[in-house]
Structure 1
Amino acid sequence: MSCMKFLVEEDEVNLRLDVFIAGKMEDKSRAYIQNLIKEGNVVIFGKVKKSNYKLKLNDVVEFSIPDNEKLDVEPENIPLDVLYEDKDVIVVNKPQGMVVHPAPGNYTGTLVNALLYHCTDLSGINGVLRPGIVHRIDKDTSGILVVAKNDAAHNSLAAQLKEHSMNRVYNALVEGVIKEDSGTVDKPIGRHPVDRIKMAVVKDGRHAVTHYNVLERYANNTLIECKLETGRTHQIRVHMAYIGHPIVGDPVYGYKKQKFNLQGQMLHARKLGFIHPSTGNYIEFSSELPDYFKKILKLL
């Protein structure tokens, strides 16, 4: 039996225990997870809790995976679009549809599987399931990620993320025509008060700031550039939906009726800049819009 441990963060407070575990084991049924809890395989500070237990800030949730649940992550020969690599970092351009790291029950086809095949040295700070992973972008968001190849690089990059000094710029196609040329959404983000799987703008959420500029206006859509000042879960998706301009193709925060046959939201992490962990120099990378994005813009 293998164990996993998670610290409850601000945006997870008051989440039901079974919902919290479901977020870590995305392909498992609610019944499976509730049974895992019922059998005493989930503890908080060493004590068994019920499925409906409401999480508190800094709770330490530990759960045991039965032996028939594989916990090893295997290297896979999956093509990688590598923009830069040295002894400290590797910068990759992630395609839409690829999950960044494995979760219990879902161990294949992820960016981590591909990275383990590509290079043998990755930071061990985030454990066996997330080696080298400093930050994430959603499965259906494409674009640039930096991965740490050793613990010193990981700590340096994590500190830059915490200080909001990393330069992260996205392109998004949103619904409707934005009238102003630029704007800022400064609204706190936390768990949705009703649908606890979703994020939302909530009064007691975590500080979140998104700056945006209009690049192109179409008949019913707007192409924008977004710069993250903070990095909350689903931040751009939540903020744009909040101001009435959800991202085209977003299955969670977007329009229920979509006019294009898309696999997910039209959101691309186009630019990433940071201080190199060893040299101390600022380096920046960019990637052009992927084909799925260009195709829709051409249609418009």
Structure 2
Amino acid sequence: MITNEKTDDVFYVNISDSGERLDVFLAKTLQGISRAQIQKQIADGAVLLNGKTGSKKSIINTGDRIDVRFNPLYDNRVRHLQPQDIPLDILYEDEYFVAVNKPPAMVVHPGSGVHEGTLVNALLARISSLSDGSASDRPGIVHRLDKDTSGVLIVAKTNSAHTAMASVFANRTIEKIYNGFCFGMPAEQHGKIDLPLDRSHTDPIKRSVSKNGKAALTEYWILHNQFGISAVRFKLHTGRTHQIRVHCSVKGFPIIGDSLYGGGQERLMRVAPLERPFASRISKCFSRQALHARSLSFIHPFSGAPLHIEAPLPIDFKDALLHFRNPDVFDS
């Protein structure tokens, strides 16, 4: 049962973290604290999972509540998030949610040495009410996008809205559409990539295909291919970290600009010589991976109305499309 002792942090598990061990989740969430220290705190009863003392091997699931009771070990972490006057492109807003068009190069929430300039800092200056979030440094954050992925991101204003929207993601009753540019193309114009993903054993930042990983399903449509470059529409049926990037890389058509997964300069140099000038022009449009979260569609959990939120293409996508025979390819 939950005690009346002071709670330092409260976390709610998102779908992307479901299935992980309790100690692994806390090790990546509580910055600056080793996994060994976290395991000791769990053993000492300082961590509650859904109101009960957890064990380091406890498996967490979407919607689980994790309470971490105050401990001096946490004093060195940043406690007070600062609002910052950073421009936000608001795509939709009501009393429950706000949807923003996250620009590339913006981190969603503080962590890993980043304490300012994040989407959370911008939200605190613009939105008067935000949910508690899945952690104390993530108010309002229901789901995430990679730093260099642009596009639609939903933020919850209240705790009830956060819980409702987390359920929409967990139950996969939301359509998530992405646009991207890739080197090469698969054999089929339309297909599904069904490969489970897990943390890489060689690089903690990366994800890799693993038979013991979490289920991951990506659907794709090749909208246009020109001189070895493909414009692709993706539909995410699951929401694993780096999912589209890993799946494209494994299938041989990596996202342009994604040097972590084989879409960098080395891949450009492998393009056929006659096609390389065009591929180079497209590649130069991007200083990041060419991936944009284009739209989210779902039934509003409170009004019951269908909701479609779309983020316009960013400037680097528009610049790249100027080189294509069909500049409206992503809108077809």
TM-score strictly above 0.5: yes
Question: Does residue 44 of structure 2 align to residue 46 of structure 1?
Answer: yes
Counterparts of 1:23-42 in structure 2, within 5 Å, are 25=31
The whole-number CA distance in structure 1 between the counterparts of 2:164 and 2:67 is: 27
Name the structure 2 match of 1:102: 110
Of 241, 245, 262, 2:249 maps to 241
Name the structure 2 match of 1:180: 188
Question: Does residue 289 of structure 2 align to residue 265 of structure 1?
Answer: yes
The alpha carbon displacement at 1:191 in A equals 1.2
Kept in 2: contact 1:70–1:105 (CA 8 A): no
With normalisation by structure 1, the TM-score equals 0.83
Question: What's the CA shift string for 1:196-226, capped at 9, x where partnerless?
Answer: 3311110011111111001110112111000
Kept in 1: contact 2:108–2:147 (CA 8 A): yes
Of 169, 174, 177, 1:161 maps to 169
The alpha carbon displacement at 1:134 in A equals 0.7
Counterpart code for 1:139: K
The alpha carbon displacement at 1:12 in A equals 5.0
Cα distance change on mapping 1:110 and 1:280 into 2, 3 Å: same
With normalisation by structure 2, the TM-score equals 0.75
The alpha carbon displacement at 1:42 in A equals 6.4
Question: What's the CA shift string for 1:247-266, capped at 9, x where partnerless?
Answer: 11113112352553533211
The whole-number CA distance in structure 2 between the counterparts of 1:278 and 1:64 is: 41
Name the structure 1 match of 2:59: 58
The whole-number CA distance in structure 1 between the counterparts of 2:92 and 2:134 is: 22
Counterparts of 1:15-30 in structure 2, within 5 Å, are 21=27, 25=31
Cα distance change on mapping 1:275 and 1:14 into 2, 3 Å: closer
Cα distance change on mapping 1:67 and 1:57 into 2, 3 Å: closer
Counterparts of 1:181-260 in structure 2, within 5 Å, are 181-257=189-265, 259=268, 260=283
The whole-number CA distance in structure 2 between the counterparts of 1:115 and 1:199 is: 29
Of 148, 151, 166, 1:140 maps to 148
Cα distance change on mapping 1:10 and 1:278 into 2, 3 Å: closer
Task: For structure 1, list consecutive stretches of 5 or more residues without a partner in the other structure.
Answer: 49-54
Name the structure 2 match of 1:274: 298
Question: Does residue 121 of structure 2 align to residue 113 of structure 1?
Answer: yes
As a proportion of its length, which structure holds more helix?
2
Which secondary structure state, in structure 2, belongs to the residue aligned with residue 237 of structure 1?
Answer: helix
The whole-number CA distance in structure 2 between the counterparts of 1:156 and 1:115 is: 20
Percent identity over the alignment? 39
The alpha carbon displacement at 1:56 in A equals 3.8
Counterpart code for 2:305: N
Which secondary structure state, in structure 1, belongs to the residue aligned with residue 322 of structure 2?
Answer: helix
The whole-number CA distance in structure 2 between the counterparts of 1:14 and 1:160 is: 23
Which secondary structure state, in structure 1, belongs to the residue aligned with residue 202 of structure 2?
Answer: coil
Counterpart code for 2:258: D
The alpha carbon displacement at 1:179 in A equals 3.6
Kept in 2: contact 1:11–1:191 (CA 8 A): no
Cα distance change on mapping 1:180 and 1:112 into 2, 3 Å: same
The whole-number CA distance in structure 1 between the counterparts of 2:11 and 2:241 is: 17
Q: How many residues are matched?
A: 284
The whole-number CA distance in structure 2 between the counterparts of 1:213 and 1:77 is: 39
Kept in 1: contact 2:168–2:174 (CA 8 A): yes
Which secondary structure state, in structure 2, belongs to the residue aligned with residue 73 of structure 1?
Answer: coil
In terms of Rg, which structure is larger?
2
Kept in 2: contact 1:69–1:104 (CA 8 A): no
Cα distance change on mapping 1:7 and 1:132 into 2, 3 Å: closer
Cα distance change on mapping 1:147 and 1:294 into 2, 3 Å: same
Kept in 1: contact 2:217–2:238 (CA 8 A): yes
Task: For structure 2, list consecutive stretches of 5 or more residues without a partner in the other structure.
Answer: 1-6, 47-55, 61-65, 269-282, 325-332
The alpha carbon displacement at 1:20 in A equals 7.5
